[in-house]
Amino acid sequence: MACAGGAPVLNRVRDGRTINYIGRAAAGAAVEQFTVRNGIGRGGPKLIPYIGCKSGFMHIFDQLVPDDPGRIYDIFGGGGSFAFYACGRFGAKKVVYNDHNPVVANLVRTLQRDPGGLHAEYQKHYSKSSPEYYLGVRDKDLLDGTRGAGRFFYLAKNAFSGKIRFNTKNKFNSPMRKGARCPRVDADALRSLASSISGMEITCRDFAEYDDISGSFVYLDPPYMNNPNGHYNAVVGLDEFSRFVQKIEGRNRVMISEQNDPDSLRLSPGYTIFKVSLRRSLQYFTQNGSSEIIAVNYDAGHG
């Protein structure tokens, strides 16, 4: 496989498996391929701050997602950055957004169906916002259609350090940002995002229910495994995730975002691993100097 800038391909054999590391580094040195920074490059469409948000990854998706993906599944959709990106590039009718957290799925569904109503609900909270008010909203039903979505939207936009955090009962439990004013939300921007995702399928299932898909492009951005940081309502087990990947990888093109060493994911031979260096704010959970990987099971035609 050719690489951008004539970058070498480093093949490492571990436990009889070949892993292709692609990057500019000399053999044996740390390999670096992509960098994500705040304010640099094309930011993707974003609804709310979200732990693990990939809205800074658009330049990476441009390079690694093939032009003919077939149906596109964002199985751990979260804040929706990959699904929104895919809608913009390939058309919303090809895209499936899934997240098993019903609060998050309800927000995305409401945005799609009723952006005007979502904005009106947000405005109600905007005009009353205060630390006490925030705590009161946190105790209300976040699943109640447009009203619930408006509440969650308000909470997410005002959460401390952009940390959207749920307990295992899907109860949102992030504290409020200190001393900051409630951000304004532009109604036209909401409508425009809603129109770009019109026709996207939105589901709220466990990822394992998607183990029968085929002929598709599957993006997997699970909660970081081996890192039960309490941000999401659940942690995905490594064994369960590996089994799922093994079931779908022969029938689909698969792209995986993860934070752990590729070895710990127990990927089959033939995956290409890209290192992504993150130099961006804590709002997105990852601090300066940390990194993630992206693994793909197809020829990404990179460069």
Ligand X SMILES: C[S@@+](CC[C@H](N)C(=O)[O-])C[C@H]1O[C@@H](n2cnc3c(N)ncnc32)[C@H](O)[C@@H]1O
* Packing angle, helices 131-138 and 145-158, rounded to 10: 140
Candidates 20-28, 98-106, 241-249, 261-269; binding stretch for ligand X (CB under 6 A): 98-106
Pick the stretch among 11-19, 117-125, 231-239, 286-294 that binds ligand X (CB under 6 A).
231-239
Residue 160 carries which side chain, given as an amino acid letter? Answer: F
What is the SS3 string spanning 290-301? EEEEEEECCCCC
Q: Counting contacts by CB under 6 A, is residue 271 touching ligand X?
A: no
The three-state secondary structure class of 63 is: helix
**Residue 167 binding ligand X, by CB under 6 A:** no
Shortest reach from residue 132's CB to ligand X, in Å: 28
206 binds ligand X (CB under 6 A): yes
Question: C-beta of 15: minimal distance to ligand X in Å?
Answer: 27
- Residue 102 CA, chain-centre distance (Å), reads 16
Three-class DSSP category at 270: coil
Q: Is residue 241 a contact point for ligand X (CB under 6 A)?
A: no
The DSSP line for 37-97 is ETTSS-PPP-SS--TT--GGGHHHHHHHS-S---EEEETT-TT-HHHHHHHHHH-GGGEEE
CB of 103 to ligand X, least distance (A): 9
CB of 78 to ligand X, least distance (A): 3
Q: Which of 56, 95, 101, 295 binds ligand X (CB under 6 A)?
A: 101
Q: Tell me whether residue 25 or residue 238 sits nearer to ligand X (CB atom).
A: 238
CB 257, CB 221: distance < 8 Å: yes
- The reply on whether position 223 binds ligand X by CB under 6 A is yes
Sole residue written with tokens 């109640």: 144
By CB under 6 A, tell whether 286 contacts ligand X: no
DSSP 146-204: HHHHHHHHHHHHHBGGG---B-TTS-B-PPBPSSPPPPP--HHHHHHHHHHTTT-EEE-
Query: Could you give the CA distance from residue 233 to residue 51 in angstroms, rounded to a whole number?
Result: 12
258 binds ligand X (CB under 6 A): no
Closest CB 82 distance from ligand X, rounded Å: 5
Size of the site for ligand X (CB under 6 A): 22
| 60 belongs to the binding site for ligand X (CB under 6 A) | no
Joined together, the tokens standing for residue 50 give 């979200």
* 3-state SS assignment for residue 2: coil
Could you tell me the smallest distance in angstroms from the CB atom of residue 53 to ligand X?
4
Rounded Cα distance between 42 and 56, Å, is 7
Identify the three-state secondary structure at position 123: helix
* Nearer CB in complex with ligand X: 23/222: 222
Query: Interface residues for ligand X in 62-81 (CB under 6 A)?
Result: 76, 78-79, 81
Q: Draw the binding track, 33-52, toward ligand X (x: CB under 6 A; -: no contact).
A: -----------------x-x
Closest contact distance (angstroms) between CB of 222 and ligand X is 6
In the three-class reduction of DSSP (H, G, I as helix; E, B as strand; rest coil), residue 219 is classed as strand
For ligand X, the closer CB: 52 or 150: 52
| Residue choice 31, 47, 53, 190 for contact with ligand X (CB under 6 A) | 53
Place of tokens 């005007």: 116
d(C-alpha 29, C-alpha 200), whole Å: 42
207 binds ligand X (CB under 6 A): yes
Q: Which residues bind ligand X (CB under 6 A)?
A: 50, 52-54, 76, 78-79, 81-82, 99-101, 104, 206-207, 221-223, 232-234, 236
